[in-house]
Amino acid sequence: MTKGWQTVVQAEALAAALGREELAVVDCRHSLADPDAGNEAFAAGHVPGAVHAHMDRDLSGTAAHGGGAGRHPWPDATVFCARLGDWGITPHHQVVAYDGGDGAFAARLWFLLRALGHVDVAVLDGGWARWRSLGLPVETVTAAPAPARYRADFDRSRLLDARAVESHLEDGGLLVDARGAERFSGVSEPIDPVAGHVPGAVNRPYLENVGGDGRIRDPQALRDGFQGLMAGRDPAQVAVMCGSGVTACHHLLAMAHAGLPGAKLYTGSWSGWIEDPERPAATGA
């Protein structure tokens, strides 16, 4: 059985489990600069048996956009569960998500499922890059899984909007921004129309969670890094954000891998925060 992978899984273990009925593999490769790049990469080659999840169409909401939802709105639970069913995924499957390498996009699917209460979901450590470097099997045929039924709802206690973030900070909670230092400080903003960060937030780029090879760092190293920021707080007193609620999920994955589960996600993140011009923007480190 493959059950029990709940944060990250190694390529060698996944390769040995391919073809098992309880396993579902989801390719989450994506490019913010080219939304069709993930589809093209998947068609050119993917892990055998995988289905492809498009960041904009499958892992984000559409009609719900607006009102502070940001560039990648959190999806409706019913719609997302229907998509899982289209992929043949049930609450009983061991799901493995992967992307091009560092897990930033795969972590979005990981947290979507965890927020539904799905426990056995993991991110492929090192992603497609490591899979290919090991010479593991590649497939170009698109899988056609038998439709399934998935019924669940999101744990809203772990999903924050802008008002909840303000209350979180007023109550002494920690808000960790996963964007790079230049975007956090306002020195550079290549995506959103306003530069800076939410006043009171601290910066920890998500890339600090991985090594130079794109693989997630040792759990103890992650634990030391996050606990240094948390300053004695419980993980439930931590919220994470980024530009649109995608790469911030890598912090949630890393914290869980470090034995610090339970942090929250500001779903709209920076792009949602600045939809209201009355909200303040801070700059500097």
Q: Please state, in angstroms and rounded to a whole number, the distance separating the CA atoms of residues 76 and 64.
A: 8
Q: Is position 28 annotated as part of the catalytic site?
A: no
DSSP string, 21-76: TTEEEEE----SS-TTHHHHHHHH-BSTT-EE--TTTTSS-STT--SS--SSPPPP
Is residue 26 a contact partner of residue 50, using CB atoms and an 8 Å limit?
Answer: yes
CA distances for 246 relative to 3, 13, 44, 111, 145, angstroms:
26, 26, 24, 10, 27
Residue of 264, 214, 235, 225 whose CA lies nearest to 106? 214
Catalytic residue among 28, 81, 242, 249: 242
Is residue 274 a contact partner of residue 234, using CB atoms and an 8 Å limit?
Answer: no
What are the tokens at 117?
Answer: 């209460």
* 238 CB burial (10 A radius; 0-12, 13-18, 19+): buried
Catalytic residues: 242
